[in-house]
Amino acid sequence: MISKYRTEWTARSGVTILEVLVVLAIVALLAGVAGPRLLGYLDRARSETAELQIAQIKNALQLFYIDLGRYPTAAEGLGVLMEPPVGEPVWSGPYLESVEALTDPWGRDYVFTESSDGSVPQVSSFGRDGTRGGTGQDADIGV
């Protein structure tokens, strides 16, 4: 059965270039308005993720301290939360779920600074730019 509403396509049946340009202009305007806002949300989410990961690493450091009676040394670094140090039979790790937890949201390792007085070591990230200092999304986290 052939439908009586069947449309015949001809060379004049399509859209004009002007209609295509209008649609592209509208899409470009929407992307220009929404794009920067979405990128701002992404940067803020990365900073908040780094703060949460640093808190998780500090909790893992406390568990390490409970088991071994000391914090990791600068030579051991944060990797000791995942792999046992040589000659430590009381190590009960791994203290984190995965090695990726030792990497900040920008793909760099967290900075571990051993305390000189035996107190809790410092864990930080240099933020989006990866250098010490900065403001906004480039600010250091956990310092």
Q: Which residue bears the tokens 């009676």?
A: 69
Q: What is the pLDDT of residue 53?
A: 92
pLDDT tens sequence across 55-87:
999 999 999 999 988 898 888 889 899 988 888
Give me the amino acid identity at 74.
A
How much is the pTM? 0.68
Is-cis flag, bond preceding 121, omega within 30? Answer: no
**Sign, Cα dihedral of 67, 69, 71, 73:** negative
pLDDT tens sequence across 12-54:
667 788 888 999 999 999 888 887 777 777 778 888 888 999 9
17-138, CATH topology level: Glycoprotein, Type 4 Pilin (3.30.700)
CB 113 within 8 A of CB 124: yes
The residues spanned by each domain of the chain are 17-138
Q: What is the pLDDT of residue 8?
A: 72
Give yes or no for residue 96 having a pLDDT over 60. Answer: yes
Q: What is the pLDDT of residue 59?
A: 92
Q: What is the pLDDT of residue 24?
A: 93
Give yes or no for residue 143 having a pLDDT over 70. Answer: no
Q: What is the pLDDT of residue 74?
A: 87
What count of Cα atoms within 13 Å lies in the side-chain half-sphere of residue 114? 11
pLDDT tens sequence across 5-22:
776 767 666 778 888 899
**Sign, Cα dihedral of 77, 81, 85, 91:** positive
User: Residue 112 forms beta bridges with which residues?
Assistant: 123
Give yes or no for residue 1 having a pLDDT over 60. Answer: no
Instruction: Kindly state the average pLDDT of the residues 88-102.
Output: 86
Q: In the chain, count H helices and then E strands.
A: 1, 2
Percentage of residues of the chain with pLDDT beyond 90: 19
Q: Which CA distances in Å does 7 have to 2, 4, 13, 14, 127?
A: 11, 9, 10, 12, 59
Calpha distance 124→54 (Å, rounded): 7
